[in-house]
Amino acid sequence: MEDRSEQLSRPGVEALDAILGQPFGVLDDGLVRVVDYMGDDAAVVQAARVSYGAGTKKTSDDRGLIRYLLRHRHTTPFEMCSLKLHVRVPMDAWRQWIRHRTASVNETSTRYSLAIDAAQRTAPQQWRIQAVNNKQGSDGWVDEDLGRKLSDQEADLQDKIRCVYNERLEQGVAREQARKDLPLCTYTEAYWKIDLHNLLHFLALRMDSHAQKEIRDYATVIGEEIVARWVPLTWEAFQDYRFKARYYSRIEHEILAATTRGNLEQARTTAAQAGWLRVTKSGALARHRERGEFELKLETLGLPIPWAETGEL
Amino acid sequence: MEDRSEQLSRPGVEALDAILGQPFGVLDDGLVRVVDYMGDDAAVVQAARVSYGAGTKKTSDDRGLIRYLLRHRHTTPFEMCSLKLHVRVPMDAWRQWIRHRTASVNETSTRYSLAIDAAQRTAPQQWRIQAVNNKQGSDGWVDEDLGRKLSDQEADLQDKIRCVYNERLEQGVAREQARKDLPLCTYTEAYWKIDLHNLLHFLALRMDSHAQKEIRDYATVIGEEIVARWVPLTWEAFQDYRFKARYYSRIEHEILAATTRGNLEQARTTAAQAGWLRVTKSGALARHRERGEFELKLETLGLPIPWAETGEL
Amino acid sequence: MEDRSEQLSRPGVEALDAILGQPFGVLDDGLVRVVDYMGDDAAVVQAARVSYGAGTKKTSDDRGLIRYLLRHRHTTPFEMCSLKLHVRVPMDAWRQWIRHRTASVNETSTRYSLAIDAAQRTAPQQWRIQAVNNKQGSDGWVDEDLGRKLSDQEADLQDKIRCVYNERLEQGVAREQARKDLPLCTYTEAYWKIDLHNLLHFLALRMDSHAQKEIRDYATVIGEEIVARWVPLTWEAFQDYRFKARYYSRIEHEILAATTRGNLEQARTTAAQAGWLRVTKSGALARHRERGEFELKLETLGLPIPWAETGEL
Amino acid sequence: MEDRSEQLSRPGVEALDAILGQPFGVLDDGLVRVVDYMGDDAAVVQAARVSYGAGTKKTSDDRGLIRYLLRHRHTTPFEMCSLKLHVRVPMDAWRQWIRHRTASVNETSTRYSLAIDAAQRTAPQQWRIQAVNNKQGSDGWVDEDLGRKLSDQEADLQDKIRCVYNERLEQGVAREQARKDLPLCTYTEAYWKIDLHNLLHFLALRMDSHAQKEIRDYATVIGEEIVARWVPLTWEAFQDYRFKARYYSRIEHEILAATTRGNLEQARTTAAQAGWLRVTKSGALARHRERGEFELKLETLGLPIPWAETGEL
C-alpha cells in the first residue's frame, strides 16, 4: 500500500464538479442532478492494486487495469466509488427504479407533505402502441389524431383527480389517506445514492432496449451525461465489455464453431439435439425463440444458417 | 456439531402447515397467505449452538436460548429461517413495504399483464382526520355524512379512471403506458420472501403505532396469524425484548436514576444541561418534545416530574 | 427540495480533511486511516428534510433533527454518508470485522502477493485470562513472569512459521498454498468502505465491552478519532441514544414500574410469572442470568430488589 | 395467481430429501451436507409466472421458462429458493467463501469453544507449483520427493502450533487470545444459507478454473452433487447459459464479424485501433493479454488470426 505517512487530499473530478447541482431534464417535468460523489477512476485502480502489490504500478496503466477488471468481472473495486443524485421521477417509473435494492434512498413523503402537484403528461405524438411479439413492450406510435384525443383525455383525468385530492385535504382527511387515488405517474423526488458497481448494473438493465422508455430515458441521462464525465475510463470499458458485449450460450457457441469450421451437418445435429429444429405438421420449422435470436447473430457475422441450407435442398 | 452421518428430515411446523395457502383477508380486498417456509424455532437454536458447542445443550433450553439471543441482539441465527408469502396489497402500501430491501420479491407486472381490476375502496366510517401534532399521522374519523360523500366520490373517480385505462387499451396503447394514471391504491400481487431476522425488523417498524394504518393491518396479520404459529418461542421473545421493550437514552436514564434516588435537584440539573428546561418569555417551560415523551415515561413509573415540583414553588 | 438551478460544491469537513491519510496506530503494528469520505452532518439533515418539505427548515435546527432521527430509529438519512478507510489488522480480528456484510472491501491478496511479513505480537503484560462466567470473554491478565514466557514462545513460534513459509516459496510452491500455515494473527491490509448508518451499527457492536479487545481497539479509534471529527452531531447523538442508552424488556419494565410505585408484591408476582424466582432444593433463589442483570439495573437506580426483601423475612 | 382458496403443501424434492444430512467429503477432512432447503424448480417457475398471468401456463413449459429466465438474466425468481448447508472447511478457504455477502452464516466460535483440533494436511503429491504467467494461480505439482519433505515439515509445524495452543489454554490464557497463532488452514464449521440466485453466482465464480483449488473443490461438490439434485432444470440451464457461455467484448465481436466475413483487413484495422497490434523494437507484435485470449477463441472457432497472416508476408 502507499506510504503510510502521506497527507492525502480528497480525490475530485473537475468535469463532474462543473455540473454539480445542475439539473438534466427528463420527460416533461422530471430531472436528474448530481448532489455529491466519492471516488473516481483512480479510486477503482487504487482498490484493485491492493491485491497486486506495488510492483504492478509500473506494468499496467490505469486504463488497462480498469478494462481488465471489467473484462474479468472483478467487481469489488468499483464499489469504492459512490454517486448521490437528486431525482424527480413519476412514481410508476420509480416503482421499477426502487427494485434495485443496493441503493440508499430518501424520498419525499406524501404523509408528511402534500403530494407534488405534477403528474407526467404525454404529448400527442408520444403514445406508444402495444407490441405484438413482445408482451412487455411497445412498438411505434399511435397516429397524431388519436394522440391528441388521448392527451386531452389524460389532462382532463389528471385535473379531476387532483381536484378530488384537494377537496379531501380541505375537508380534513389525513394526507396519508387523501393521496390514495393520485395517478401512478405523479412525480416524486428523492435522493438516491449508489456505488459504481451497482450503478453499472442498473445502467446495463435500464439502458437496455427492453427497459420501459420512461426509465430508459433516466438511465441514459445518468450514463451519458453523468457517469461519462465522472469516470470516463470506466464508462468506456463498460461500453466495450458489458453494454455492447455479446453472449453466446454453450449451445450457440458449439453451433457457431461448427459453422465457422464449415461443418454444417455438425451444426444441424447440435441444434437438433437442443430441440431447436422441431418441425410442424406442415413440414416447416416450428417457431423457436432462441433459434430465432441466434439466426440474427449468424446474420451479423455473415455466416450461413445451417438449417436454412437444408431447407433449400 | 451434530453427528455427521445422521439422516435428516426437513423440519416442519404443523401449525403452519395447517394454514399453508389459506388467505387471511386484509383491507377490503387484500390478502396474505403463506406459500412456503424454511426452518422453525429449533433451527434458530441449532444455528446458535454452533457457536457454543455441544456442552451447552444441557444447560439452556430452547426457549431460554431464543430469549437470550433476542435480548442480546444476536441476530444471525434468526436468518436461518425464511418465510414466503403471497400478498395482495394496494400499491401505495406496497410502496412502503418494498422499502425493506432485504426481501426477495416477484410482483405482477402491469407491462406483461392487465392491471388488477380492483382499487382499494374506503368505507364511509374509515376516512381518517389529519393529526395536528403528528404531521405524518391521522387522528380519529370524519363524521359519517362526510364519510359517505367521500366514499361516493371515491367510487366515481375510480370508475372513471378504470374507464380511461380500458379505452386506452382498446385503442391499442401499450399496457406499460396505459396504466400511468391508475390510482396509487390499485391492488397488486406479489410473492415476498424474507428471513426471520429481517421479518422481525419489518414487523417492529410496521406494527408500530406510527406506521400507516393500511400497512399496519398487513403487518399485524403477518405477526399474529403467521409468525405466532410458525415460531411461537421467537414470537413471544420478540414481544418481550423488542416490540414491548422500553428504551431510555443516556440523558433519560441519568434523570431517571436521580429521580428514583430522590435527588430531584440533580435530575433538574441534568435536564437543564441537556437543554430540556428552556423558558419562554412568559416564564413557562418551552415545549420540548423529548422532555414531553420522558414525562409520560415517568408517569408510567409513578414517579414525580422533577421540574414540575420546581414550577410549583 | 432546494432550488433546482443552484450550483453546488461538494460538502467537505475541515476537521476530517486535516487527518486524511494520517495513520492512527492500533495494537503493535496495526493502523486505521481515512482515505476518502462522502457527506457530513448536513447531508444527513438534507436527506431527512426531503420528507418534511421546506417548511421545517425554520422550526428544527440540525442538531435537534439528527437527535430526533437517532432517537426514533429513522436510519436511512445516515446512509447518505460514507467513509473509506485503509486498515491494517490481524486476520483473526479481520475475521470478525468482515462479518459486517454491508461494507465494500478490497483486501490484499496472498495469492497475488507475498503475505505481509508481520504477525501480531503480544507484550508480556497483555496476556489475558479466560473469564469464568463469560465463556467468550477474558478477565484480567496473567502474571508477568508467565507473560514473558508466553511472549518468548510466541516469538519463537512465529519465526518458525515464517521460516517454513519462506522455504516453501523458495522451493517453488504456489503462494496460494504456501500461506496455509501462517498464523491467524498475520497482518492483512484492506480498503473498507461503509455508510454511516452501518458504521454506527458496527461501532455499537464492536465498541461494546463484550467485543474482543483487539477489534474493540480498532472500533474505538474509528469512533473517537474519526467519526467524532467527521460528523460530530451524529457522534454525540449516537452516544446518547444508542451506545449509552438502556433497554428494559417488557418484563423488566413491568417489574420496574411496580417497584417505583412501591408495589413490591406486584413486582414479585410478575417476576415469578416470568420464571425468575425458581428456588433450589436448598431454598435459595436459583441462578437466573436475566434476573441478575436486572438486579444490577435496580442497583444503578438506587431501588430495592423486591425479592431480596422477601428473602430477608 | 393461483386460486386463493387452495390448501397447499410444502414443495419437496425427493432426490434432495434422500441425501439430507449426508456428508460429502472434501479435501482431507472437510465436508458439505444439506441441512434444509426451500423451493424447487417449480418455485422458480411459479414466481416467474406472477409477471405473466395465468395464460402463459399453456404456452411455455417449465424447462423452457427456466432457460428463458437464465438466458435473459431475469434473476429474481431464483431468489425464491434457498439452501442451507453445514460445511467444514479450512479457514483460509473460508476467508474467500465469506466474501459472498448475500449469505447467512453461523460459524463455530473459537472464543466460546476450543478450536477444532484439525488443520488441513497436504499429501506429498498435492503441493502445487507457482504459475509463472498467472500471478494468482498454480501450475502443476512439485516432484514427490520434495512433496514428501514438505508434507513432513507441514505435519511437524502443525503439531508444534497445536502444542503451543494447548499450553496457553492450560496456563489459563483466554481462548479468544490463545488461538491467535493457529494456522490459517485450521478447520472451522458453519451453517451457510443462501438463495439460489446468489448460489449460482457463487458457483460461477468458485467453480471457475481461476478459483483456488481448495474452494473450487467445495463449489464443485455443491454444484454437481447438491444443486444438480435439487433443481435439475436450473442446473442444466446454468451450465448452458452461464457457466459454459462465451462472452465477446464489443471489440472482439467486431473483429470476429470482420473475420467471418473474410474481411481480414477490416479486422486488423479494428484491432489496431483498439491498441492490440503494437510492435516491439524487434518488429514483433508486443504481448497483449486481451489479444492473446481472443486468439484462443479464434482457434476454437477454426478461424484465421488476421494479424498472423500479416506477419507471414
Sign for the CA dihedral angle at B187, B188, B191, B195 comes to: negative
* Domain identity same for A259 and A231: no
Full residue range of the structural domain in which residue C306 is found: 250-312
Digit-coded pLDDT (tens) for C14-48: 999 999 999 999 999 999 999 999 999 999 999 99
Q: Are A116 and A186 in contact (CB under 8 A)?
A: yes
Total domains in the fold of chain B: 3
Digit-coded pLDDT (tens) for B243-266: 999 999 999 999 999 999 999 999
CATH number at residue A81: 3.30.1360.170
Question: What does the block give as the cell for B216?
Answer: 399496519
At residue A34, the pLDDT reads 97
Is residue D59 over pLDDT 50? no
Q: How many CB pairs under 8 A join B and C?
A: 71
Q: Are D191 and D86 in contact (CB under 8 A)?
A: yes
At residue B289, the pLDDT reads 86
* Domain identity same for D216 and D103: yes
Digit-coded pLDDT (tens) for D141-187: 999 999 999 999 999 999 999 999 999 999 999 999 999 999 999 99
DSSP state of D142: -
At residue C8, the pLDDT reads 78
Q: Which residue of the set B206, B229, B261, B287 is catalytic?
A: B206
Q: Is D206 a catalytic residue?
A: yes
Digit-coded pLDDT (tens) for C173-231: 999 999 999 999 999 999 999 999 999 999 999 999 999 999 999 999 999 999 999 99
> Among A258-272, B113-127, C113-127, D7-21, whose mean pLDDT is lowest?
D7-21
Domain boundary residue among D139, D156, D181? Answer: D181
Residue C207 lies in a domain: yes
Nearest chain C residue to A83 by CA distance is: C38
Is residue B309 over pLDDT 50? yes
Chain A residues closer than 8 Å to B95 by CB:
91, 95
Residue C143 lies in a domain: yes
Q: What is the largest CA-CA distance in chain D?
A: 79
- Minimal CA–CA distance to D192: which of D30, D27, D47, D73? D30
- Minimal CA–CA distance to D64: which of D258, D291, D242, D236? D236
In this complex, which of D239, D247, D303 lies closest to A260 when CB atoms are compared? D303
Global ipTM: 0.92
* Domain identity same for B30 and B100: yes
Q: Are D97 and D89 in contact (CB under 8 A)?
A: yes
d(CA B78, CA B198): 8
Is residue D56 over pLDDT 60? no
d(CA B30, CA D231): 32
d(CA D122, CA D144): 12
* Domain identity same for C133 and C164: yes
Provide Rg for chain B, Cα atoms: 26
* Domain identity same for B150 and B67: no
Question: What does the block give as the cell for D75?
Answer: 434473476
At residue B131, the pLDDT reads 87
Map chain C to HEC letters.
Answer: CCCCCCCCCCCCCHHHHCCCCCCEEECCCEEEEEEEEECCHHHHHHHHHHHHCCCHHHHCCHHHHHHHHHHCCCCHHHHHCEEEEEEEEEHHHHHHHCCCCCCEEEECCCCCCCCCCCECCCCHHHCEEECCCCCCCEEEECCHHHHHHHHHHHHHHHHHHHHHHHHHHHCCECHHHHHHHCECCEEEEEEEEEEHHHHHHHHHHHCCCCCCHHHHHHHHHHHHHHHHHHCHHHHHHHHHHHHCCEEECHHHHHHHHHHHCCCHHHHHHHHHHCCCCCECCCCCECCCHHHHHHHHHHHHCCCCCHHHHHHHC
Q: Which amino acid is at D20?
A: L
Strand, helix or coil at B128? strand
What is the enclosing helix (H) or strand (E) of D37?
strand D30-38
Chain C residues closer than 8 Å to D131 by CB:
174
Is residue B4 over pLDDT 90? no
At residue B139, the pLDDT reads 85
Residue C203 lies in a domain: yes
Chain B residues closer than 8 Å to A122 by CB:
177, 180
Nearest chain B residue to C244 by CA distance is: B250
* Domain identity same for A97 and A204: yes
C265 in contact with chain A, both atoms CB, cutoff 8 A: no
Domain boundary residue among A230, A245, A260? Answer: A245
Is residue D53 over pLDDT 70? no
* Domain identity same for C106 and C71: yes
C296 in contact with chain B, both atoms CB, cutoff 8 A: no
DSSP string, B152-219: HHHHHHHHHHHHHHHHHHHTTB-HHHHGGGSBTTBEEEEEEEEEHHHHHHHHHHHSSTTS-HHHHHHH
Q: Which amino acid is at A251?
A: I
- Minimal CA–CA distance to D92: which of D25, D186, D189? D186
D74 in contact with chain B, both atoms CB, cutoff 8 A: no
DSSP state of A134: -
In angstroms, the separation between the Cα of residue B171 and the nearest Cα of chain A is 8
Tally the C-alpha atoms within 13 A of residue A165's C-alpha that lie toward its C-beta: 23
At residue B5, the pLDDT reads 56
Question: What does the block give as the cell for C182?
Answer: 501462517
DSSP string, A167-212: HHHHTTB-HHHHGGGSBTTBEEEEEEEEEHHHHHHHHHHHSSTTS-
* Domain identity same for D111 and D209: yes
Is residue C54 over pLDDT 90? no
In this complex, which of C154, C164, C177 lies closest to D181 when CB atoms are compared? C154
Digit-coded pLDDT (tens) for D119-147: 999 999 999 999 887 777 888 999 999 99
- Minimal CA–CA distance to C294: which of C257, C261, C262, C265? C257
Digit-coded pLDDT (tens) for B68-117: 999 999 999 999 999 999 999 999 999 999 999 999 999 999 888 899 99
Residue C9 lies in a domain: no
Residue C3 lies in a domain: no
Which residue positions in chain A have pLDDT lower than 70? 1-7, 52-60, 309-313
d(CA A89, CA A192): 12
pLDDT band at residue D278, thresholds of 50, 70 and 90? very high
* Domain identity same for B85 and B233: yes
| Whole-prediction pTM | 0.95
Cross-chain residue pair B4–D33, CB shorter than 8 Å: yes
Q: Which residue of the set D67, D206, D268, D291 is catalytic?
A: D206
State residue B174 phi and psi, 5-degree precision: -60, 140
Tell me what percent of the residues of chain B surpass a pLDDT of 90. Answer: 82
d(CA A74, CA A66): 9
* Domain identity same for B79 and B150: no
Digit-coded pLDDT (tens) for C134-154: 777 888 999 999 999 999 999
DSSP state of D279: B
Strand, helix or coil at A214? helix
* Domain identity same for B2 and B109: yes
Residue C2 lies in a domain: no
Chain D residues closer than 8 Å to B47 by CB:
106, 191
In angstroms, the separation between the Cα of residue A212 and the nearest Cα of chain D is 15
Q: Which residue of the set C49, C88, C206, C268 is catalytic?
A: C206
In angstroms, the separation between the Cα of residue D123 and the nearest Cα of chain A is 29
Residue C55 lies in a domain: yes
* Domain identity same for D139 and D62: no
Cross-chain residue pair D51–B190, CB shorter than 8 Å: no
What number is the average pLDDT over the span C94-105?
96
pLDDT band at residue D269, thresholds of 50, 70 and 90? very high
